[in-house]
Structure 1
Amino acid sequence: MDPVSGTSMFSSWFPGLPPVAFFLMVLCAFGLGFLMRRLANANHLARANALEQDLKNSEKRIASLKQGKNDLVSVMETLKRQNREFGAFISMIPDSVERLNTCEKLDDILLNLVHITEKLLQTREVSVFVREKDLLVMKAASDLPPVSSPPMSIRMGEGKIGWVAQKGISMTDRDLQQESTLVKISLLKTDSDLATKICSPIVYNGTLLGVLNIGNLPGEMDQGLRVARMITSLGSIAMGNILLKEEVRSGSEKDGLTGLYSLQYFLNELRKELSKARRYKRPVSVCHFNMDSFQKYNEINGYLAGDEALRMVGKILKDHIREQDIAARYGGKEFVLFCPETRREDAVFLSDKLREIICNASFPQKDRMSGGKLTVSGGVAGYPEDGADEAELIASAVQATQKSINGGRNRISQAGAGKESGKFTIQQ
């Protein structure tokens, strides 16, 4: 086709449109198509990216669901385990209560408390302390070796165990760490080598009987604390029952007039104390008192006044001796006392203190007696130097009392050749 014919054809197709304009239109059409293809590609890319992100999110959700499933399985296993443990725990309670309530001796109760704690809390570090005045004495523990030395003792308020006993509340090691700085410093200074994770007091009718100490705890601390409280509650009831039985039994072991122990009880306890003294090589002292001129006092003032005087002497002895000392009525006007872990010289000092208190007591009609006083003479014997058993010791103390009577009464003598405590004589 020649140019002239082409131009004629263009003019016939687009009359009045300049050729340049036509070419511009064609270029625009090509440019628009190119842009549309680019936009279409961009949309495809965006959708592809979105699909990829959705895929990643889906994978994350699937992973999260898998983790959730694993966590749920773990929780289910934990619940199953706890349910088994709880079932075993519940099944043990009736047997534990029965075992504690059938115990006839305190030692049996303490051993059962240790075994019950071991089973319920899956631990092998359990110890039970019993209160003896101002001391907490270990009486039972896990794998306790044979006794070859005095048992471990802790003073009230000292260390973690003593602190719990003094406060009277159950505490964990975490609770103890939250005490004030001064308290923690004091606890560290006085603490024993015994580990303590949970410590719970054994309290009966408001009276502290002892402390349960748990040194290791594999389970949860809070749950262990609740179990420890339950165990000490059961233990306090069992121990309280034993105390009530002993109280009833002691009614027949007391002298009806003075309230002191009977001679038979005194002899039994002295025999036990001497057995401990032999094992641990400790001293024991026995004191004997005889009321001077008591027959004359009865004749002058009557037997009712005499009975009151005996009651007063009994009360003086009870009020002025230690908790571990035991006093008894030996005969009509005689009294005996034994002091564990006490040297003869120290017992002489105590006896003279008691003699002086009795001498200054306000007995009925005492002014009608010679010198206006009702007095006692006494003697002291010590183990092992003055006797190997209770009979020998009492005989030595009685002989020492006779020395005091022969020496002028109202004085204390100690057993042994020529050992009379003349410095204890009170001038009439």
Structure 2
Amino acid sequence: MPPVTSAPSSRLRPYRMPAFILSVVLLICVGVAMVLSIRSFTRSTDLVEHSYQVINTAEAIRSSARSTESDARGYRLSGRDQLLAEYLATFPATRKATSQLVVITRDDPAQQTRALEVETLVEKRLAELQRLIDIQRDQGIAEAQREGLDSPGFGQMQQINLLIDTVLTQEHHLLRERRQTMATLAAVTIAGVVAGILLPLVLLGLLLGGLTRENRRSLKLEREARSTMRELAISLEQRSRLSEQRRVLGAYAGILQSCENLNEALNVTAEVIAQMLPTAGGRCYVLRSSLNQVEALSRFGTETVPSDSVWAPSACWGLRRGQPHRSGHGPGNVYCSHLHIEDLGENGWTLCVPLMAQGVSLGLLHVNGATGGSSEDVQVVEAIAEQLSLAMINLQLRESLRVQSLRDPLTGLYNRRYLEENTQRELQRCQRRGLPLSVIMLDIDHFKRFNDEHGHAAGDALLTAIAQTLQTHTRDEDIVCRYGGEEFTVVMPEASSEDAQRRAEEIRSAIATTTVVHLRKTLGPNTASLGVATYPFDGSTPAELIGSADTALYRAKAEGRNRFVVHQLARA
């Protein structure tokens, strides 16, 4: 019996190598064609994206220019500082957009020429707007409005809009052409890919014997691909988290600029940290003006490692070194003495970030947690601390300017506005602590006659001298104000009626011996009448207390002047 042979296998064996070589050649050709097609397609895609970028930039110029024009006009008409701030914010954005349009149209000389014209017109218009703003600052709103009537603003904006419309029209035309080119390239690429795949598949069907090995290799590649996909997913998640953090930080920076006081800024900071680091907790500390104590003004989250509410700056390594100080579980860690580290877990961590701006220490941001504490978390806290420091120094400057506006220019004492704002605060503080608060109303006796006899300059000198006497005979924590005309008010937190009566008598006696020198003449002494009222007996609101003290003052005048009367006695 003849041996059994595999005829088909024998017939196909001589063609395996040529078929393999031909398949490889076809695949190489297809690969080269695909690479070339993909490069062309990528180039077309880049051109389309470039057209969209030009269109978006041109629209941004139009929108930003209109916003700048609107904000400047609104400020010129109303004089509102908020509109000026919005104008100053959109002013550089308009310039940046025009410069970007010039840069991205370098590939098209005609478009770049138009972009340069747009930039020139925008610069002219911005210069005109800035000129009107400067006029309003220097000469007043009326002069700015008059100059605005003669400003060529409408014509300039019309020219800018026409040029931008021309740029958009041309770019839309290029966009249609590029889209058509993309569609053609896509069709050619698909046809080439389909044809190039079908032919090698027919030939590779003859090489089934080698697929087993290729399958094993494919399984290995699949496992590697899965591992890569997992790593990619982790990377995308981190990128998404970082993007969200940047968005939240950007919004946080904007909100901080709108905060009216420090407590509001600290509360916003606490909410942002709780949102970005939900597993962390901590406190925002502020350095007192005496620079000898740090006090917690807000808390956030759940503190894993408790921290004292008030402590000396030397208790924190972050404040000592002027840079963030991180510590965790294990040897080699140096802990701040204001922390209670006995509650620190195995994965616990703490971070102290000094709040500093312009070389001045303002406070501390302390964050801790049972888990986390990665470098990303530290960077987030440092970014928040940087924004908070700038906001705090701005708020301090704003408060300093506000206090300056609350001084009486003649006597240097606080004015009535300051009295109304701060008496309420001091009264609420005393109410919370169950402490008294006294008010003294003072009026100079026969001041009108003094003015008529010696002149208003002498009267001003007398008011200034009495203001100095009041400052000499009151405490630092007392609020001494010029209430109006020849009337003065002294608010004495935590002072009982007896304390206020003693102080009123001291002030009355001191004024009775006060003289002024005017035009080489010694004038005075003069006398004063005083009325005393005390919380809670004579009122529970600032208006009631001041009214009670005023009633007692008029009783003192009615009884002969140069004396003080307590409101409780006046009522009796």
Give the TM-score band, short-chain normalised: 0.5 to 0.7
From 249, 265, 268, the counterpart of 1:93? 249
How does 1:10-21 map onto structure 2 within 5 Å?
Answer: none
| Contact 2:497–2:533 under 8 Å retained in 1 | yes
Aligned to 1:112: 268
- Residue 336 (structure 1) shift: 1.0
Structure having the higher Rg: 1
Normalised TM-score (structure 1): 0.57
Q: What SS is found at the alignment partner of 2:420?
A: helix
SS of residue matched to 1:93: helix
- Tell whether the 8 Å contact from 2:282 to 2:300 is kept in structure 1 after alignment: yes
CA contact (8 A) 1:217 1:224 kept: no
Q: Work out which of the residue numbers 509, 522, 537 in structure 2 matches 1:368.
A: 522
Q: What is the match of residue 425 of structure 1?
A: none
Structure 1 counterpart of 2:541, which letter?
A: D
Which amino acid is 1:380 matched to?
A: V
Give 1:168 shift.
Answer: 9.0
Does residue 102 of structure 1 match 2:258?
A: yes
After TM superposition, list the pairs within 5 Å mapping 1:150-299 onto structure 2: 157=312, 160=315, 169-170=322-323, 172=325, 197-204=350-357, 209-216=362-369, 218-220=371-373, 227-246=380-399, 253-278=406-431, 280-299=433-452
1:192 alignment partner in structure 2: none
> What does the per-residue CA deviation read over 1:263-321, in whole Å, with 9 as the maximum and x for residues that have no partner?
24423443454455545544222121223443344345431132133234445556775
Tell whether 2:530 aligns with 1:378: yes
Structure 2 distance, partners of 1:393, 1:375, is 24
Q: Which structure 1 segments of 5+ residues have no match?
A: 1-72, 145-151, 190-194, 421-428
Distance 2:294 2:274 in 1: 21
Counterpart Cα distance in 2 of 1:362 and 1:153: 53
Query: Structure 2: which 5+ residue stretches go unaligned?
Result: 1-227, 341-347
SS in 1 for 2:516: coil
Output the CA distance in 2 between the equivalents of 1:241 and 1:133: 16
Q: Is the 8 A contact 1:359 1:376 kept in 2?
A: yes
Query: Which residue of 141, 166, 172 corresponds with 2:299?
Result: 141
Distance 1:398 1:97, change over 3 A: same
Letter in 1 for 2:532: V
Q: C-alpha offsets along residues 84-110 of structure 1, whole Å, 9 cap, x if unaligned?
A: 655554443322212222334544322
Task: State how far apart, in whole Å, the 2-side matches of 1:347 and 1:199 are.
Answer: 45
Q: Is the 8 A contact 2:477 2:493 kept in 1?
A: yes
Which has more helix, going by share of residues?
Answer: 2
Residues 374 and 133 (structure 1), Cα distance of their counterparts in 2 relative to 1, 3 Å cut? farther
Q: Is the 8 A contact 2:516 2:523 kept in 1?
A: no
Cα 1:282/1:203, change in 2 over 3 Å: farther
Normalised TM-score (structure 2)? 0.45
Query: In structure 1, how many angstroms separate the alpha carbons of the residues matched to 2:366 and 2:557?
Result: 53
The alignment covers a number of residue pairs equal to 325
Task: From the superposition, tell whether residues 196 and 359 of structure 1 become closer, same or farther in structure 2 (CA, over 3 Å).
Answer: farther
Letter in 2 for 1:417: L
In percent, how many aligned pairs have the same letter?
27
Q: Tell me which amino acid in the other structure corresponds to 1:334.
A: E
Conservation of the 8 A alpha-carbon contact between 1:118 and 1:126: no
SS at match of 2:517: coil
RMSD: 4.8
CA distance in structure 1 between the partners assigned to 2:387 and 2:322 by the alignment: 16
2:283 partner SS: strand
Matches of 2:547 and 2:401, distance apart in 1: 31
- Output the amino acid matched with 1:157: A
1:396 aligns with 2:552: no
Determine whether 1:328 maps to 2:481. Answer: yes
Distance 1:154 1:283, change over 3 A: farther
Shift of residue 160, structure 1, vs aligned partner? 4.2
Deviation at 1:111, TM superposition (A): 1.6
